[in-house]
């Protein structure tokens, strides 16, 4: 395991392609884009409960744990027994279904249509 600072551009893509799991411990995150990026690359994620990624477990593409040493260590040990390729595939599908440009565009259009439908002159 290695702790890295910022990784950009092509190096980030290569890093995800070479990774089995992404570990994202944090006390506070508003979104945690690295989680979405990892999942979009098919990399399962261990994220702490300081991130808003509780659906990792629901979507079966990672684990969401307390942000303490014991919980993180247990998650790292236990994820090795999980079907990482299947988890990665499910994570990629989740990102495509809910966070792709097409998905977000459709959600925004639905919101605009709903909002415009409530408008009266």
| Single pTM value for the model | 0.85
Residue 16 resides in a domain: yes
How far is it, in rounded angstroms, from Cα 82 to Cα 41?
A: 18
CATH of residue 23's domain is 3.40.50.2000
Residue 1 lies in a domain: no
Asked, for residue 97, whether it belongs to a domain, the answer is yes
Residue 12's alpha-carbon distances to 18, 47, 49, 51, 104, in angstroms, are 10, 19, 24, 21, 23
Residue 18 is assigned to a structural domain of this protein = yes
Summarize the confidence of residues 11-21 as an average pLDDT: 95
Give me the pLDDT at residue 120, please. Answer: 57
Other CB atoms within 10 A of residue 67 CB: 15
Residue 32 within any structural domain of the chain: yes
Residue 70 structure tokens? 């014991």
What domain range is 109 assigned to? 9-117
pLDDT for 4: 79
Domains identified in the chain, total number: 1
38 in a domain, yes or no?
A: yes
Position 121 scores a pLDDT of: 52
- Give the pLDDT confidence score for residue 3 in this predicted structure: 77
Q: Give 34-90 pLDDT, tens digit per residue.
A: 999 999 999 999 999 999 999 999 999 999 999 999 999 999 999 999 999 999 999
Q: What is the rounded average pLDDT for all residues in the chain? A: 93
In a domain, 3, yes or no: no
Q: In the prediction, which pLDDT does 25 show?
A: 92
């Amino acid at each position: 395991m290695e702790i890295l600072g910022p990784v950009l551009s092509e190096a980030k893509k290569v890093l995800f392609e070479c990774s089995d799991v992404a570990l994202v411990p944090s006390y506070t995150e508003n979104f945690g884009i690295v989680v979405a990026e990892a999942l979009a690359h098919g990399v399962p994620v261990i994220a702490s409960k300081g991130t808003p990624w509780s659906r990792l477990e629901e979507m079966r593409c990672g684990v969401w744990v307390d942000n303490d040493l014991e919980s993180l260590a247990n998650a790292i040990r236990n994820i090795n027994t999980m079907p990482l390729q299947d988890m990665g595939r499910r994570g990629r599908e989740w990102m495509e279904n809910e966070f792709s440009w097409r998905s977000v565009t459709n959600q925004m259009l639905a919101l605009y249509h709903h909002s415009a439908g409530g408008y009266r002159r």
